[in-house]
Amino acid sequence: SFTKTNRNINQTSFIDATKTPIIDLYIHSKNKDKQCVQCQKCPIFEICGGGFIPHRYHSGNGFDNPSIYCSDLIKLFSYIQNTLLNQLDIKEKEKMEYLD
C-alpha cells in the first residue's frame, strides 16, 4: 500500500513519509509491539522477529499475523541452532547454560 498514500518524492519529505501508518509499520515491523500475539509469545522471536513483513499480510486483518512461513522458519532456526550447538565443545555449552 505504499503507492496508495498519495505521497511522492517531489512533495513529501522523508520524515513526513515515515509518519504514514503503513511506512511506520514497515520501519518498526521488528518491534515486539507491532507483532501479533503468537509472535510476541514465540520463544524464538528475538531471532525471527516475525519474519519478513509482507509474509505476515492477510486481507482479513492486515499484518497482525505470524509469517506464512512460520513453521519453516522454526525448522530453519532449529536446524541452525542444533548445527551450531553440535559444533561446540562441552565447556562452551556449559558456559551458555550458565548465561541463561
Contacting positions for ligand SF4 (CB under 6 A): 38-39, 42, 44-45, 48, 50-51, 66-67, 70, 73-74
Q: How far is the CB of 78 from ligand SF4 (least distance, A)?
A: 10
- Cα–Cα distance, 9 to 82 (Å, whole number): 46
Tell the smallest beta-carbon distance from residue 94 to ligand SF4 (Å). Answer: 27
13/71 with CB nearer ligand SF4: 71
Nearest residue (CB) to ligand SF4, 16 versus 72: 72
Instruction: Give the CA count within 13 Å in the CB-facing half-sphere of 91.
Output: 0
Report residue 62 CA to chain centroid gap: 15
What is d(CA 83, CA 28) in angstroms, rounded to the nearest whole number? 31
Q: Select 20 or 62, whichever has its Cβ closest to ligand SF4.
A: 62
Helix (H) or strand (E) holding 84: helix 70-87
Cβ closer to ligand SF4: 26 or 45? 45
